[in-house]
Structure 1
Amino acid sequence: MGNPGGDPVLLVHGRQDSAATFIPLLHNLPETYNYVGVDLPGHGKSDPFPIGVMLTRFHFLAAVEYAVTHLKWDHFVYVAHSMGCEQGLFFNVIHPGKIAKFIFLDPLPSFQRLQIHDFKEYYGTFYHEYYSNYKKYNTNDRVYSKRKAVESVMRARGLNEEQAEIVLSRNLQSVGEDTYKLSWDKRLRLPAAQNYPPDYYYGLFSKNLPPTLIVSASNSLDPRNKKRNDIAIELVSQLQKSMDHFYVETVTGGHDVHLTDPELVAKCILDFLNRSMGRAKL
Structure 2
Amino acid sequence: MAKRLFSRSSTSLLFFNGFTNPVKTQIVKHIHCDTIKPEVPCKEIKIPVQWGHISAKLWGDENERPILALHGWQDNAGTWDPLAPLLSKHKSILAIDFPGHGLSSWFPPGMHYYSWELPRLILLLKEYFKWDKVSLLCHSMGSIAGLRFASSYPEEIDFYIAVDSLIADDYDLDLVARTYPKNMLNVNLAQTRLDQEPPLYTYDELAKVWHMGTRKSVSIDSAKILMKRGSKPSKKYPNKFFVSRDARLKYILFTPESKPFVETLIKKLKCPTLYFKAVDSPYASDEFSVEMREVIERNNENFECHFVPGTHHVHLNNPELIMPHISQFLKKHNFLPS
Same fold (TM > 0.5): yes
User: Per chain length, whose mean CA-contact separation is higher, i.e. which structure has more relative contact order (CA < 8 Å, sep 6+)?
Assistant: 1
Amino acid at match of 1:146: Y
TM-score by length of 1: 0.87
Equivalent of 2:185, from 119, 122, 132?
132
In structure 2, how many angstroms separate the alpha carbons of the residues matched to 1:232 and 1:73?
A: 31
**CA–CA distance in 2 between the matches of 1:7 and 1:258?**
22
Q: Which of 239, 242, 260 in structure 2 is aligned with 1:178?
A: 239
How many residue pairs match? The answer is 271
CA contact (8 A) 2:279 2:311 kept: yes
Partners of 1:135 and 1:76 lie apart in 2 by 36
**Which residue identity is paired with 1:173?**
K
Tell me if structure 1 keeps the 8 A contact 2:154–2:271. Answer: no
Could you tell me how far apart the structure 2 residues matched to 1:86 and 1:151 are?
27
Q: Distance in 2 between matches of 1:166 and 1:244?
A: 37
Asked if residue 220 in structure 1 is aligned to residue 281 in structure 2, the reply is: yes
Secondary structure of 1:44's counterpart equals coil
Q: Deviations over 1:199-218 (max 9, x none)?
A: 32121122152110101100
State the Cα RMSD in Å.
2.4
Question: Moved runs in structure 1, 4+ residues, more than 4 A?
Answer: none
Check 1:66–1:76 CA distance in 2 against 1; reply closer, same or farther (3 A cut): closer
Out of 295, 300, 304, the residue aligned to residue 243 of structure 1 is: 300
The one-letter code matched in structure 2 to 1:76 is V
- Read off the aligned partner of 1:19 and give its amino acid letter: A
Task: Say whether the 8 Å CA contact 1:97–1:208 is kept in structure 2.
Answer: no
CA contact (8 A) 1:16 1:43 kept: yes
Deviations along 1:214-272, one digit per CA (max 9) or x if unpaired, are 011001116xx97xx11011001111022111011010011000011100111121111
User: What is the CA distance between 1:187 and its match in structure 2?
Assistant: 2.2
CA distance in 2, matches of 1:67, 1:194: 24
Q: Which amino acid in structure 2 is aligned with residue 55 of structure 1? A: Y
More helix by share: 1
1:32 partner SS: coil
Q: What is the DSSP-based 3-state SS (H/G/I as helix, E as strand, rest coil) of the residue aligned with 2:201?
A: coil
Identical columns (%):
25
The Cα shift of 1:117 comes to 6.4
Q: Gaps spanning 5+ residues in structure 2: where?
A: 1-58
1:26 to 71, 81, 84: 84
Instruction: Say which of 164, 176, 190 aligns to 1:122.
Output: 176
What SS class does the counterpart of residue 169 from structure 1 fall into? helix
Code of the aligned partner of 2:182: E
- 1:168 aligned to which of 208, 227, 235: 227
